[in-house]
Amino acid sequence: MSNTTMKAVVNLDVPGPTISRHLYGHFAEHLGRCIYDGFYVGEGSAVPNVGGIRTDIVDALRALDIPNLRWPGGCFADEYHWRDGIGPKESRPSMVNTHWGNVVENNHFGTHEFMDLCEMLGAEPYISGNVGSGTVQEMSEWVEYLTRSGDSPMSRLRRENGREEPWKVKFWGIGNETWGCGGNMRAEYFADLARQYATYCKNHGDNTLYRVASGARDDDYSWTEALMKSISCLGCSQGPRNIYQATSFHYYTSAPAWENKGRATSFSDDEYDQTMANAWRIDEIIAGHSRVMDCYDPQARIGLVCDEWGTWWKTEEGTNPSFLFQQNALRDALVASLHFDIFHKHARRLVMANIAQTVNVLQAMVLTDGERFVLTPTYHVFEMNKDHQDAVNLPLHVTHDSPRRAVDGREFESVSASASVKDGRVLVSMTNLDLHDDARIRLDLRGAGWTLGEGRILTASSVQAHNTVDDLSAVAPEKFDGAQRDGESLVVDLPAHSFATVQLSVEQ
């Protein structure tokens, strides 16, 4: 029996903004075992691969409909020189990956391998260019190498390396965390650099770029303001100048504190609640950046991109601390499902988000162990939620406050939900963060007739539950029959610490 209830109205005939599929983006950095020993095992490996790329992982990830993949970093991007990663592998120069364990990078996974990976995944590439230690010319030539047809110095070089036709690469990051590992710059200085680099990243033929200026850390709204100011034309009607098309920010969830990270699978009830209070912070952070952007760009022509998000725990014992390898429990899945509800709510301004990172690093979808691999609880949230991609958001108008929990004097809502519609099918996603109490969600669905469809649930006996190679489905989706129709209302009884999705068909 439910102890707590959230009530909301959903107007099926009043659509909100479209939820860009790119909110379900991913991130793969040359960090620890994400690329090497993760995605890429090399052509000589006993693990089945095509051109060195692991096919079993690609197959598993294809089920998520990954819309875009960000690469090569992160911090690594600002010491990466793309010319070192093209041509015959045996003659590619190596380098030291100073950010992530000082390991030697042999550059065997480079531009062509990344583009092959994107093609295999069916994902659009999102390339982070080097501003910290690179040059404007270097980035400009990378764009030319990838996207220019006909005869030019870079298209000739690409052909010499075996690729005749240019690729389509829309998304380009101008630097990464330029306030930190990407150059320790001040906002005003970077704002000018972003304009300069963006200017020389050209549209070749019909490949129109979407340039993302490296943005703020967490709630540093002054960084966003400096960027917006630098492309604004205050007082003119045409809005911001079309130099770059988006600005980003990064936000990670940890507990008990950023400086004192807890473990991924052994944590107290308090640490769990602190995690959820910290995860909720991304709501006010997106709202804060959006407010600043609204002042300079009321028409929302410039997008907001959260190109790094997710949980960050202490690395697993016995692993290299610089490799950021962590297990992934039901708690991580609930952090992810909460983030998606928040992202959907902000879909007008928020155009892209990338979880960190896809394989073996931070909040991963897949953890590998030699030839074997595990799908994490977070993987299942991405899969269960994939029909929100490019669907129309249906805002929830909460009429009866959501139940709340408190930790360290901070309150947070313990129930969250979102809904969207695409091709006459509604997907409702619901999360009960409460550790102990069930919750009831009552949604009054107005404006159109509807029929109740299938439900699925992701939960386990504890929030510490996680999958291992010996127990692949300790946390895996199951059929859910806790949703019922009561007149015009959808009534859902959600067990403690669970995530559920329910499908509806609407009369069009």
Q: Of 214 and 432, which has the nearer Cβ to ligand AHR? A: 214
- Strand 25-27 to 68-71 pairing: parallel
Residue 236 Cβ, how far from ligand AHR at the closest point, in Å? 35
Q: Of 132 and 395, which has the nearer Cβ to ligand AHR? A: 132
Q: Of 74 and 129, which has the nearer Cβ to ligand AHR? A: 74
Residue 104 Cβ, how far from ligand AHR at the closest point, in Å? 18
Residue 250 Cβ, how far from ligand AHR at the closest point, in Å? 6
In the three-class reduction of DSSP (H, G, I as helix; E, B as strand; rest coil), residue 87 is classed as coil
d(CA 273, CA 279): 10
Residue 473 Cβ, how far from ligand AHR at the closest point, in Å? 28
Q: Of 144 and 177, which has the nearer Cβ to ligand AHR? A: 177
In one-letter notation, the amino acid at residue 259 is E
Is 177 in the active site?
Answer: yes
In one-letter notation, the amino acid at residue 448 is A
Residue 183 Cβ, how far from ligand AHR at the closest point, in Å? 12
The active-site residue out of 29, 177, 225, 383 is 177
Helix (H) or strand (E) holding 288: helix 269-296
Cβ–Cβ contacts within 10 Å for residue 269, how many? 11
The active-site residue out of 29, 113, 124, 308 is 308
Number of helical (H) and strand (E) elements in the chain, helices listed first: 9, 29
The answer to whether 110 and 39 are in contact (CB under 8 A) is no
Cβ–Cβ contacts within 10 Å for residue 233, how many? 11
In the three-class reduction of DSSP (H, G, I as helix; E, B as strand; rest coil), residue 163 is classed as coil
Q: Of 285 and 362, which has the nearer Cβ to ligand AHR? A: 362
In one-letter notation, the amino acid at residue 383 is E
Residue 262 Cβ, how far from ligand AHR at the closest point, in Å? 18
Burial 134-143 (b: 16+ CB within 10 A, else e): bebebbbbbb
As to burial, measured by CB atoms within 10 angstroms (0-12 exposed, 13-18 middle, 19+ buried), residue 507 is exposed
Tell which residue, 414, 399, 445, has the closest CA to residue 273: 414
Angle formed by the axes of helices 55-62 and 111-121, nearest 10°: 50
Q: Of 29 and 37, which has the nearer Cβ to ligand AHR? A: 29
Residues of the shown chain interacting with ligand AHR in the complex, contacts defined by CB under 6 A: 29, 73-75, 176-177, 308, 356-357, 362
Residue 100 Cβ, how far from ligand AHR at the closest point, in Å? 8
Is 317 in the active site?
Answer: no
- Strand 489-494 to 498-506 pairing: unpaired
The answer to whether 385 and 365 are in contact (CB under 8 A) is no
Q: Of 74 and 240, which has the nearer Cβ to ligand AHR? A: 74
CA 261 to mean position of chain CA atoms? 21
Residue 39 Cβ, how far from ligand AHR at the closest point, in Å? 15
Burial 298-337 (b: 16+ CB within 10 A, else e): eebebbbbbbbbbbbbebbeeeeeebbbbbbbbbbbbbbb
- For 486, list phi and psi in degrees, rounded to 5: -130, 95
Q: Of 314 and 348, which has the nearer Cβ to ligand AHR? A: 314
Residue 355 Cβ, how far from ligand AHR at the closest point, in Å? 10
Cβ–Cβ contacts within 10 Å for residue 461, how many? 9
Q: Of 126 and 296, which has the nearer Cβ to ligand AHR? A: 126
Helix (H) or strand (E) holding 187: helix 187-200
The answer to whether 440 and 494 are in contact (CB under 8 A) is yes
Both tokens of 132, joined, read: 């910290």
Both tokens of 137, joined, read: 């010319």
d(CA 228, CA 212): 12
d(CA 495, CA 481): 11
CB nearest ligand AHR: which residue?
A: 74
Provide the annotated active-site residues. Answer: 177, 308
